Amino acid sequence: MSNGINLMASSQTGSGKTASFLIPIIQNLLNSGPPKGDVSKEEFKKTRKCYPLAIIMAPTRELAIQIHEEARKFCHLTGILPKVIYGGKESYNQQRYLSWDGCDILIATPGRLIDFMERIVDLSFVRFIILDEADRMLDMGFEPQIRSVLDKCFEMTQGTDIQVAMFSATFPKEVRGLAEKYLQKYIYVGIGSEGKSGSVSKSIQQVLVDVRQGIKNQVLFEQIKNLEGKILIFCATKRAVASVYTYLNSKNLFVANIHGDLSQKDREAELGLFKNKCSILIATDVASRGLDIPDVAYVINYDLPTNIESYIHRIGRTGRIGKSGVAMSFVTDLDEPMFNKLYNVMKDSNQEIPSWFNELIRFKYDKEERYGQQNRAGKAYHHKWRGSGFRGGRGGYGGNRNFYRGRDEEDVGYDSDYSRPRTYGGNTGYNDNFGYE
């Protein structure tokens, strides 16, 4: 970043992206003169505004707080002052916090930054703008806020060169297209799988567990009860987090939980609990981006996400900075849209792919090919589910379908032998009818 060229950078999770933008900014500010050199003490005392030289935007409060903690370490004894603002706390206290002695590096969530731009934050002297986890910010609908901040910076600096950089572990094609609006004459630096959704560190062992939706809690408990080290469990919804939290508590496990409905104070308390006291954290995707929690040994996808970028970010909470880790994912019928992408990520990472998952991929391909042939032949394809479940029949999964390790549905027991092939309709292999007519 020291040469002033706009940048879009992508690398594996846990590879040190935060340091890769903080250190060059701090070095540049040290080389260019004393901090706050562009604003006189008299002017600062008169306006009581904050005049940052660098803006770092992050999609979530937790990530903004974490970047600030790292910035404080790097800025120690340099005279450079980093501060952080984010939603979820009273704006009045944060205004006082900024106006007390200003700052040089301002880390912020987009909404709170927009709120403060007119009242307390003056962008006239900004030289660096960093968009951390840029794809997530755009995906969360922050594009208008990002555009507003950039336009305001270029307007107030009156043509002064501003370096803009985007950092993330994943840059889908649609996000790269949006980057063209923000980064003119930029260079792209990628470490990992070029041109793909992202890459996974080879230090992360990826494991798939074939499980039926109705007995996930029991399987989860069996998987984690003898594990040592910190365990991060991801669920798709706040309701699922509450269900797993209640179930594991009933098994006398000490667990913490975090999701979007918690207040900022409670979220910080739960994260602190996980870092310092308990070994299990249950979370929604609010904890999947950028958070660096030391010594997470296991990540478990209780629910697989709906896109591969979230999968990469989730499992990237383990195996960080050269350490090894295990990422375990529960796979059910409902995850079929993710099968191909998950297969490709595991293949690119040289992971061992279970035979039953290979069979699922082949069956999915055959089914899609059969649909295509019927459509090409001009035949309208209709099917009718039997029963009320995904594949119909008793209990919602059809006849004598033994979904988890060849057991019957009423039997909530399970084997520890995870090498046994999964069965369909009681037979190894697949039922061509697949539960429809």
DSSP letter, residue 279? S
DSSP letter, residue 353? P
In a domain, 435, yes or no: no
Q: Please, which residues have CB within 8 angstroms of residue 153's CB and are 6 or more apart in sequence?
A: 55, 123, 126, 129, 162
Beta bridge partners of 330: 209
CA distance 406 to 168: 41
The identity of residue 420, as a single letter, is R
CB atoms within 10 A of CB 239: 10
> Measured between alpha carbons, how far is residue 324 from residues 124, 235, 283, 310, 378 in Å?
45, 23, 21, 20, 52
> Measured between alpha carbons, how far is residue 124 from residues 98, 117, 154, 256 in Å?
16, 11, 9, 43
Residue 127 sits in the same domain as residue 166: yes
Residue 176 sits in the same domain as residue 321: no
User: Quick one: pLDDT at residue 224?
Assistant: 94
* 61, 267 Cβ separation under 8 angstroms: yes
Reading the block at residue 165, the tokens are 């950089």
Print the SS3 string covering 358-425: HHHHHHHHHHHHHHHHHHHCCCCCCCCECCCCCCECHHHECCCCCCCCCCCCCCCCCCCCCCCCCEEC
Give the distance from CA 358 to its chain's centroid. Answer: 26
In a domain, 414, yes or no: no
Residue 232 sits in the same domain as residue 167: no
CA distance 362 to 370: 12
Over the Cα atoms of the chain, what is R_g?
Answer: 25
Residue 179 sits in the same domain as residue 211: no
User: Quick one: pLDDT at residue 210?
Assistant: 92
Residue 181 sits in the same domain as residue 232: no
Domain boundary among 157, 190, 223: 190
Whose CA is closest to 27, among 123, 108, 105, 109? 105
Whose CA is closest to 246, among 276, 235, 315? 235
* Half-sphere exposure (Cβ direction) of 424: Cα atoms closer than 13 Å: 14
In a domain, 300, yes or no: yes
Residue 219 sits in the same domain as residue 130: no
In a domain, 426, yes or no: no
Residue 173 sits in the same domain as residue 230: no
CATH at residue 31: 3.40.50.300
CA distance 353 to 274: 31
Whose CA is closest to 139, among 184, 178, 107? 178
Question: To which H or E segment does residue 216 belong?
Answer: helix 216-224
Give the distance from CA 238 to its chain's centroid. Answer: 16
> pLDDT averaged over consecutive 10-residue blocks of the chain (437 residues)?
72 72 92 58 65 91 89 92 88 85 91 88 90 79 84 74 80 67 75 54 88 91 92 93 94 90 83 89 79 82 90 84 87 90 89 90 69 52 36 34 35 35 36 33
Reading the block at residue 320, the tokens are 């960080």
Domain boundary among 156, 190, 224: 190
Q: Please, which residues have CB within 8 angstroms of residue 327's CB and are 6 or more apart in sequence?
A: 204, 205, 206, 207, 298, 299, 300, 301, 314, 315, 318, 319
Domain boundary among 335, 353, 371: 353
User: Quick one: pLDDT at residue 192?
Assistant: 57
Give how many domains the chain has, as a whole number. 2
In a domain, 37, yes or no: yes
**Which range marks the domain in which residue 12 is found?**
7-190
E strand residue ranges, 184-313: 187-190, 204-210, 230-234, 255-258, 280-283, 296-301
> Measured between alpha carbons, how far is residue 416 from residues 344, 404, 405 in Å?
27, 11, 9
In a domain, 402, yes or no: no
CA distance 336 to 348: 19
In a domain, 36, yes or no: yes
Residue 25 sits in the same domain as residue 68: yes
User: Quick one: pLDDT at residue 18?
Assistant: 86
CA distance 240 to 256: 14
Residue 181 sits in the same domain as residue 210: no
Residue 180 sits in the same domain as residue 217: no
Residue 23 sits in the same domain as residue 147: yes
In a domain, 211, yes or no: yes
380-393 residues labelled b (16+ CB within 10 A) or e (exposed): eeeeeeeeebbbbb
* Half-sphere exposure (Cβ direction) of 250: Cα atoms closer than 13 Å: 9
Residue 150 sits in the same domain as residue 20: yes
CB atoms within 10 A of CB 182: 19
